[in-house]
Amino acid sequence: MNSVIFYSLPEVLLLLAGAILLDWWIGDPKWLPHPVIFIGRWIGYWERRLLPHRTKRSNGILLMLIVTLSSLALVWILTSVASWIHPWLGYAVHMWLISTTIAIKGLKDAAMLVYDRLSRGELTKARKYTGYIVGRDTDGLEEAELSRATVETVAENTVDAVIAPLFFALIGAAPLAMLYRSVNTLDSMVGYRNTKYLHFGWASARLDDVLNWIPARLTGLMLMIVSAFYRPASAVQAWRAVVAFAHLHPSPNSGIPEAAVAGSLGIQLGGLNRYGGVISERARLGWATRTIEKEDIIHTIRLLYGVSYLVMGGLLCVACGWLV
């Protein structure tokens, strides 16, 4: 069987470029089964069996190992069998699976649902759609807070849903990209610092932090570069915001893209949020030079796509240079 370990660097780079094109074009169509849905069900299956036990941290480690290793193994088998049948089928399966680990179009579409409702003055619907993409309570939020929540989500997920999966796909194509996506899904399902998951989700949350460490910093750098294309001064402000504020975020990684976006746009992110009715004060990132408005959602989407264009250009330049 011809597996990914036999792919050359140009082949892997072109696979990543093709995956980005697929995501730009079709995203995650509802009629096509999505691997993350199956990963979520697999997590839920094992959570129901492991969580009730008293040794929650060790069972959480077991959950993490079962989900990540099974995801890695299954995708390696699928891509190896496809490559064995025909090399071009192997390329196609790799490309599609990698595309399912990124969500450029999905992020844009989700954010635009909020923006469109705000533009129409439909606050109730805007709150509903914001609630689909954030964990905080959205009832009663006004336009500025709904816009802030959406901007923060797009900024943070530029790491989780774009750069990080592509980073691991560069190292190990679809199998490693899917391993990353399984860790990220684990973190989103059990990685909460509450009574239920504090110990059980500890391993998943810490592994997610480790895997995102390099991608988060690459994303911050790319956001600064992309900001320079809009306004050179905003790139400097993005850098200053990362240096001054990123370390204040409870996550070792999420503060970097959020601070970069805040500095680039000249707004302040963070502040008071409610989770299940409980008020939480999140670190304030950036300088409040103006009030956040719905148009900042559009600006953040442009930064998101700018980062993806930057990655695409880099992939094609390196691949062509290598081949020539």
Alpha-carbon distances, residue 176 vs 14, 101, 125, 168, 298 (angstroms)? 16, 10, 38, 6, 32
Dump pLDDT digits (tens) for 58-69: 999 999 999 999
Q: Which residue has the higher pLDDT, 281 or 180?
A: 180
Distance between CA 63 and CA 251 in Å, rounded?
22
User: Residue 140 pLDDT more than 90?
Assistant: no
User: Residue 198 pLDDT more than 70?
Assistant: yes
Residue 43: exposed, middle, or buried by beta-carbon count in 10 A (0-12, 13-18, 19+)? Answer: buried
Residue 278: phi and psi, rounded to 5, are -95, 125
Q: How high is the mean pLDDT of the chain?
A: 91
Total-model pTM: 0.93
Distance between CA 270 and CA 75 in Å, rounded?
38
User: Residue 231 pLDDT more than 70?
Assistant: yes
Distance between CA 186 and CA 170 in Å, rounded?
22
Confidence band, pLDDT 50/70/90 cuts, at residue 260: very high
Dihedral over Cα of 14, 16, 19, 24: its sign: negative
Dump pLDDT digits (tens) for 156-172: 999 999 999 999 999 99
User: Residue 141 pLDDT more than 50?
Assistant: yes
pLDDT value at residue 277 = 74
Amino acid in the structure at residue 194: N
DSSP 3-state of 154: helix
DSSP 3-state of 275: strand
Task: Give the torsion through C-alpha atoms of 90, 93, 95, 101, to 10 deg.
Answer: -140
247, HSE (Cβ side, Cα atoms, 13 Å): 3
User: Residue 3 pLDDT more than 50?
Assistant: no
Least-confidence region, from 125-134, 146-155, 195-204:
195-204
Confidence band, pLDDT 50/70/90 cuts, at residue 177: very high
Dump pLDDT digits (tens) for 34-75: 899 999 999 999 999 888 766 678 999 999 999 999 999 999
The residue ranges of DSSP E strands in 142-237, in sequence order, are: none
For residues 292-310, give the mean pLDDT: 96
Dihedral over Cα of 147, 114, 188, 314: its sign: negative
What share of the chain has pLDDT > 70, as a percent?
A: 97
User: Residue 258 pLDDT more than 70?
Assistant: yes
Residue 160 is inside which H or E element, if any?
Answer: none
Q: How many other C-beta atoms are found inside a 10 Å radius of the C-beta of residue 259?
A: 30
Q: How many helices (H) and strands (E) does the chain have?
A: 12, 2
Cα 90 from chain centroid (whole Å) = 26
Dump pLDDT digits (tens) for 84-114: 999 999 999 999 999 999 999 999 999 999 9
User: Residue 320 pLDDT more than 90?
Assistant: no
Domain boundaries, the chain: 4-323
The Cα angle at residue 14 between residues 323 and 164, in degrees rounded to 5: 125
All residues at 6 or more sequence positions from 58 whose CB lies less than 8 Å from its CB, including other chains:
none
pLDDT value at residue 2 = 44
Q: Are 42 and 62 in contact (CB under 8 A)?
A: no
The tokens 């250009």 sit on which residue?
Answer: 313
For residues 173-183, give the mean pLDDT: 96
